[in-house]
Structure 1
Amino acid sequence: MATYPSPALLDLPKIIMGIDPGTQIMGYAVIEVTGQRVQVLRYDVINLKAFGSNHAVKLKKIFDRMIQLIEEYLPDELAIEAPFYGANVQSMLKLGRAQGVAIAACLSRDIPFVEYAPTKVKQSVTGSGAASKEQVAHMLRQTLTLPPMEEAPKLLDATDALAVALCHHYQKGNNVKAGGKSWGKFLAENPDKMAAPVAGKKAVAARKKPVAKA
């Protein structure tokens, strides 16, 4: 006879990290999903403009910040937007590296990931694969609790990342790649790796706070 997860297990919280890759500005977002309830824990950007043309330093900054976020929020899964293929080959190469570094940071902690095309993300959130960044941000405001509208222009990369995370939630976490462990499971299996109790306390505290503003 077939067995099914209990309702209690189905309602366990899941932490999803969304990433909108960039070589100048990289957006990130962290949401907690419990059943159909979505709580925004944080969304912001990694500003890389200060590093100029030093691409290697930018990649290290991305990796280091990703590890910090993983330690703080203990995500179960990563959702990341696929690069948009344009005419500038060099720009595409750099963007692909930035995306790869973000993925590598999660894989180093055994966190599975899913890649979504930009049109898929927009379609999931707005109903149109051709929606603008402003339209995506507007629709998110109709769905989630976010900071006041006057703060929106500087947060468009962050709201893009939030859209990626929400898109993954709408997909019910299907098609995760490269393993099935969460960072929490990694810590449980490797207690000597970093300070698990400290990281756990940070995550719990973050979940109790209102959404962090950029």
Structure 2
Amino acid sequence: MRVLGIDPGLQNMGWGVIELDGPRLRHIANGVVHSDKGELGDRLLRLYRGLCAVIIAHAPSAAAVEQTFVNKDAVGTLKLGQARGIALLAPAEAGLEIGEYAPNAVKKAVVGVGHAGKEQVQHMVRHQLPGVVFESADAADALAIAICHAHHLQSRSIRIKVRA
């Protein structure tokens, strides 16, 4: 099973694809879709098309998106929410099951601590995906989101097997 992790952002939307094979995780690809500057509609369209291209190229079977946190800047939060809408729309249109995770849940799943720093998260992503090279910090975050969802899928699969 391939899992696409998405770190929503209006200027830089990180993405990472991993493969789940039993208990093993393997890095497939990671990158960033850039929207640069310009009209909001055009920027969202670039994000959407870029994310659709990632989905076509890597054929994930599930996706996960980080939930947006509210910050002091209401306008920035709203724009980030619109980018997050694109992060949900593209995989939904492709028919993918989508998991949504709070930043602390991702950190806890990857590091074991909900308030871990970015460096700790990146270290543990490198540990769980040996040889991975991040295109950017946004791509590293997206891989962490994918790992979090993979762990969720693994535990859900174990619960189903135990019940059967």
Once the two structures are superposed, the pairs formed by residues 78-97 of structure 1 within 5 Å of their partners are 78-97=63-82
Tell me the distance in 1 between the aligned counterparts of 2:9 and 2:142.
Answer: 11
Offset of 1:47 from its aligned partner? Answer: 2.3
Offset of 1:90 from its aligned partner? Answer: 0.8
- Match of 1:172, SS state, is helix
What residue in structure 2 maps to residue 158 of structure 1? Answer: 139
| C-alpha contact (below 8 Å) 1:136/1:163 kept by paired residues | yes
Gaps of 5+ in 1: 1-13, 176-214
Q: Does 1:146 align with 2:131?
A: yes
Tell me the distance in 1 between the aligned counterparts of 2:131 and 2:10.
Answer: 25
Tell me the distance in 2 between the aligned counterparts of 1:132 and 1:30.
Answer: 22
Offset of 1:146 from its aligned partner? Answer: 3.3
The one-letter amino acid paired with 1:165 is A
What residue in structure 2 maps to residue 65 of structure 1? Answer: 50
Tell me the distance in 2 between the aligned counterparts of 1:173 and 1:56.
Answer: 38
What residue in structure 2 maps to residue 127 of structure 1? Answer: 112
Gaps of 5+ in 2: 157-164
| C-alpha contact (below 8 Å) 1:81/1:164 kept by paired residues | yes
- Match of 1:171, SS state, is helix
Offset of 1:44 from its aligned partner? Answer: 1.1
Once the two structures are superposed, the pairs formed by residues 188-207 of structure 1 within 5 Å of their partners are none
What residue in structure 2 maps to residue 195 of structure 1? Answer: none
Q: 1:40 aligns with which of 23, 27, 46?
A: 27
Tell me the distance in 1 between the aligned counterparts of 2:112 and 2:95.
Answer: 32
TM-score, with length taken from structure 1: 0.68
- Match of 1:87, SS state, is coil
Tell me the distance in 1 between the aligned counterparts of 2:15 and 2:46.
Answer: 14
Task: Work out which of the two has the higher radius of gyration on C-alpha atoms and give 1 or 2.
Answer: 1
What residue in structure 1 maps to residue 100 of structure 2? Answer: 115
Number of aligned positions between the proteins: 156
RMSD: 1.7
TM-score, with length taken from structure 2: 0.88
Deviation digits for residues 116-138 of structure 1 (CA, Å, limit 9, x no counterpart):
00000011111111112121101
The one-letter amino acid paired with 2:138 is D
What residue in structure 1 maps to residue 11 of structure 2? Answer: 24
Offset of 1:63 from its aligned partner? Answer: 0.7
- Match of 1:95, SS state, is helix
Which of structure 1's runs of 4+ aligned residues deviate more than 4 A? none
The one-letter amino acid paired with 1:156 is A
| C-alpha contact (below 8 Å) 1:134/1:156 kept by paired residues | no
Tell me the distance in 2 between the aligned counterparts of 1:129 and 1:98.
Answer: 24
